[in-house]
A and B are shown apart, each in its own frame.
Chain A
Amino acid sequence: MSETVSMTTGARAMQVLPQAGHPRNPGMTLDLDWVAAVQANTSAIERRAATLPGRRSVKKDHQAAWLCKAISLIDLTTLSGDDTTGRVQRLCAKARAPVRADLLDRLGMTGLTVGAVCVYHEMVGPAVRALEGSGIPVAAVSTGFPAGLSPFHLRIAEIGESVAAGAQEIDIVISRRHVLTGNWQALYDEMAEMRAACGAAHVKAILATGELGTLRNVARASLVCMMAGADFIKTSTGKEGVNATLPVSLTMIRAIRDYEARTGFRVGYKPAGGISKAKDALVYLSLMRDELGLPWCQPDLFRFGASSLLGDIERQLEHHVSGNYSAGNRHPMG
Chain B
Amino acid sequence: MTIRDIFDDMSYGPAPESATEAFDWIARHDGKFGHFINGAFIPAGQGFETRAPATGQVLAQVTQGSAADIEMAVSAARKAQSKWAALPGHRRAQILYALARLVQKHARLLAVLETLDCGKPIRESRDIDLPLVARHFYYHAGLAQLLEAEQPQMGPMGVCAAVIPWNFPLLMLAWKVAPALAAGNTVVLKPAEWTPLTALLFAEISREAGLPKGVLNIVTGDGETGAALVAHPGVDKVAFTGSTGVGRKIRAATAGSGKGLTLELGGKSPYIVFDDADLDSAVEGLVDAIWFNGGQVCCAGSRLLVQEGVAERFHARLKARMDGLRIGDPLDKCIDVGAIIDPEHLARITAMVDACDGQIHRAATDLPAGCYYPPTLITGLSAASPLMQEEVFGPVLVSMTFRTPAEAVELANNTRYGLAASVWTENVNLALDMAPKIRAGVVWINATNLFDAAAGFGGVRESGFGREGGWEGLMAWLRPKVQGKALKPVLPVDAPADPQVEGIDRTAKLYIGGKQARPDGGYSRAVWSPKGRLLGHVGIGNRKDIRNAVEAAHAAKGWASATAHLRAQVIYYIAENLSARADEFADRLRQMTGKDGKAEVEAAIARLFTWAARADKVEGRVKPVPIRGVALAMNEPVGVVGAICPDEAPLLGFVSLMAPLIAMGNRAVLVPSEAFPLAATDFYQVLDTSDLPGGVVNIVTGRHAELAPVLAGHMDLDALWSFSSSDLSARVEAGSTANLKRCWVNHGRATDWTRADGPDFQRAATEVKTVWLPYGE
**Interface residues in chain A, defined as those with a beta carbon under 8 Å from any beta carbon in chain B:** 39-48, 51, 54-62, 64-66, 68-69, 72, 107-109, 214-216, 254, 257-258, 261, 285-286, 289-290, 294, 297
Contact = CB atoms under 8 A, between A and B. Distances in A.
Nearest to A45: B281
Contact of A58 (B15, B126, B277, B285): B15
A234 B127 CA distance: 31
Given A41-B426, A43-B774, A108 B3 contact: yes
B281 A216 contact: no
23 contacts: A39-B279, A43-B446, A43-B627, A43-B629, A43-B774, A44-B278, A47-B447, A48-B281, A57-B15, A58-B334, A59-B14, A62-B12, A62-B13, A65-B4, A65-B5, A65-B10, A66-B10, A107-B3, A254-B280, A258-B280, A261-B316, A285-B10, A286-B12
A47 B12 CA distance: 23
Contacts of B284: 44, 48
B774 to A, nearest CB: 4
A47 B447 CA distance: 9
Nearest to A297: B10
Interface in B739-777: 774-777
Given A62-B6, A65-B7, A294-B10, 14 more contacts: A39-B276, A39-B426, A44-B774, A46-B776, A54-B123, A54-B127, A55-B334, A57-B15, A58-B15, A58-B334, A66-B7, A108-B3, A108-B4, A297-B10
Contacts of B627: 43
A57 B333 contact: yes
A41 B12 contact: no
A254 to B, nearest CB: 5
B3 A65 contact: yes
B504 interface: no
Interface of B: 1-7, 9-15, 123, 126-127, 276-282, 284-285, 316, 324, 333-334, 336, 426, 446-447, 627-629, 774-777
B14 to A, nearest CB: 7
Given A48-B284, A107-B3, A108-B4, A41 B10 contact: no
A134 B15 CA distance: 36
A72 B447 CA distance: 37
B3 A109 contact: yes
**A-B complex: 4 closest residue pairs judged by Cβ atoms:** A65-B6, A62-B13, A44-B281, A43-B774
B10 A69 contact: yes
A152 to B, nearest CB: 31
A7 to B, nearest CB: 29
Contacts of A60: 13
A68 B7 CA distance: 7
A215 B15 CA distance: 33
A43 B281 CA distance: 9
User: How would you classify the secondary structure of chain B's contact residues: helix, strand, loop or mixed?
Assistant: loop
A226 B146 CA distance: 58
Contacts of A51: 127
A51 B446 CA distance: 16
A290 B324 contact: yes
A109 B316 CA distance: 39
Given A41-B281, A64-B3, A58 B13 contact: yes
A290 B316 CA distance: 16
B123 A39 contact: no
Contacts of A290: 324
A47 B444 CA distance: 14
Contacts of B447: 43-44, 47
A64 B446 CA distance: 38
A62 B285 CA distance: 29
Contacts of B6: 61-62, 65-66
Contacts of A43: 446-447, 627-629, 774-776
Q: Which of B1, B278, B334 has the most CB of A within 10 A?
A: B278
A59 B13 contact: yes
Nearest to B426: A39
B115 to A, nearest CB: 14
Nearest to B628: A43
A59 B15 contact: yes
A183 to B, nearest CB: 20
Contacts of A216: 777
Contacts of A46: 776
A69 B123 contact: no
Nearest to B12: A58
Nearest to B280: A254
Nearest to A42: B776
Nearest to A216: B777
A109 B13 contact: no
Contacts of B277: 39, 41
Contacts of B278: 39-41, 44-45
Contacts of B15: 57-59, 62
Contacts of B126: 54
